[in-house]
Amino acid sequence: MNASSPTLVGQILNSNLFLGTALVVEDDNSIANLLKIHLSDLGLKVDVANDAETAFGFIQTKMYSVCLLDWMLPGVQGIDLLKKIRAQNNRLHVLMLTAKADPDSIVMALEAGADDYLAKPFDSKVLLARVRNLLRRLEMQNANSVVLEKKAAEVASEDEMSLDELYIHFLKYVIRYQGEDVHLTPSEFKLLASLFKARGLVMTRDQLIAQIQGDEVNVTGRTIDTHVFALRKKLGAWASHIETIRGIGYRILISDQDRTVREDDIS
């Protein structure tokens, strides 16, 4: 493994990376210390474990951004620790470090749940690039989670929404298009409201059935298609926003970029 100076490391890294804590699981103290230096240069706090049992204890009590895991450990092997981590649905990002460079070992590690694999001896620049990539993936996942939670909170708190001159008030059961009231049946209103709240995501026929059950009718997938057909007739030109996803269900197009080929008839 080729060592890099802190100056070179600083040139390689992006200072805007997600910061957190890393876990190094390595029984060779000289390698473990070198890994700790490199990860610290990334801005990460670092814990070191020399065996799988100690590492698993850390993982049970602390949150880590990334784990650098050696395969060949005393006692429980790194690959077995990885399987134990994944059995708990732990989303910890794991980079497997090992002298095992044969294709079968690489496949075994990746299938066991490793996010990446790097064979020893490795270049420090390559190691840092791999870790940096895992941190970017983690940062993206965290950002996506925040966006989804924000959207869910917004929908839960909103009583009304509008899109391209169509206005809907969920509590007052009001629909207006271009300032004119649109009269919908209770089932049609529930269906349109559900599609609005999905904010461009596809809703399956089964999901839509669950939304409008209770109207003392036998709701089936075909019933949903009939309601959508009626909605399109009542909504006029705005009906182009309701897209059929063949064999799955429907969604409301929020923008032209969302648009795919739409069936105009009942599917």
93-98 β-sheet, strand order: 45-49, 21-25, 66-70, 93-98, 116-119
Domains of the chain with CATH codes: 6-150 (3.40.50.2300), 158-258 (1.10.10.10)
Give the residue-averaged pLDDT of 224-236: 92
166-222 per-position pLDDT tens digit:
999 988 899 999 999 999 998 899 999 999 888 888 888 888 888 887 645 555 667
Give residue 91's pLDDT.
Answer: 76
For 15-58, how does the pLDDT look when each residue is reduced to its tens digit (9 = 90+)? 334 458 999 999 999 999 999 999 998 889 999 999 999 999 99
pTM of the model: 0.52
Whole-number pLDDT of residue 138: 80
- Asked whether residue 108 carries a pLDDT value surpassing 80, the answer given is yes
Q: Which residue in 151, 198, 199, 216 sits closest to 208, CA to CA?
A: 198
Task: Say whether pLDDT at 129 is over 90.
Answer: yes
Alpha-carbon distance 218 to 25, whole Å?
A: 58
Q: What distance in Å separates the CA atoms of residue 243 and residue 40, rounded to the nearest whole number?
A: 50
Q: For 74-106, how does the pLDDT look when each residue is reduced to its tens digit (9 = 90+)?
A: 999 999 999 999 888 577 899 999 999 899 999
